[in-house]
């Protein structure tokens, strides 16, 4: 379900939808446990739908419903202006390997010396 669809609903409709999704989530958990679940991605979708609807219902109850803003048009580049500078992607730095701080076992060192001879 899209957020725009949920915003069009009343708080009571949202509560009913959450109840329906929670039942579906319960059934999906049982299907997963018994190995009958075929569409595993549905678990994630249902979980996120529940969170989305609960958030919108909370906003409606508090009166903090955000207003949809119109998309801002992109600024046209004029002849005299410079193009926007793009930052290069950060590269991961390799870390030096950490040396072991434990003392070597003297018995194992003696075994290694004997095996080399």
pLDDT of the chain, 117 residues: tens digit per residue: 888 999 999 999 999 999 999 999 999 999 999 999 999 999 999 999 999 999 999 999 998 876 655 555 556 556 666 667 777 777 767 777 777 667 767 676 666 666 665
In a domain, 103, yes or no: no
- Residue 71 maps to a domain: no
pLDDT of residue 77: 57
Range of the domain at 43: 3-62
**What is the pLDDT at residue 57?**
94
Question: Among positive and negative, which fits the CA dihedral 18, 19, 24, 30?
Answer: positive
Residue at 15 is within a domain: yes
Cα–Cα distance between 114 and 108 in angstroms, integer? 10
The domain total for the chain is 1
Question: pLDDT at position 36, please?
Answer: 94
| Residue 80 located in a structural domain | no
In a domain, 116, yes or no: no
Please check whether residue 66 is in contact with residue 17, taking contact to mean a CB–CB distance below 8 angstroms.
no
Closest to 5 measured CA to CA, from 13, 59, 19: 13
Model pTM? Answer: 0.55
Residue 99: inside a domain:
no
- Whether 67 is covered by a domain: the verdict is no
């Amino acid at each position: 379900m899209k957020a725009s669809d949920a915003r069009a609903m009343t708080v009571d409709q949202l509560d009913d939808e959450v109840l329906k999704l929670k039942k579906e989530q319960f059934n999906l958990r049982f299907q997963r446990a018994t190995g009958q679940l075929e569409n595993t991605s549905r678990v994630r979708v249902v979980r996120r739908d529940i969170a989305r609807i609960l958030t919108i219902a909370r906003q409606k109850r508090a009166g903090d419903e955000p207003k949809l803003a119109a998309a801002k048009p992109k600024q046209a580049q004029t002849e005299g202006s410079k193009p926007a500078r793009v930052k290069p992607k950060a590269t991961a730095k390799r870390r030096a390997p950490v040396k072991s701080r434990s003392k070597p076992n003297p018995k194992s060192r003696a075994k290694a010396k004997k095996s080399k001879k």
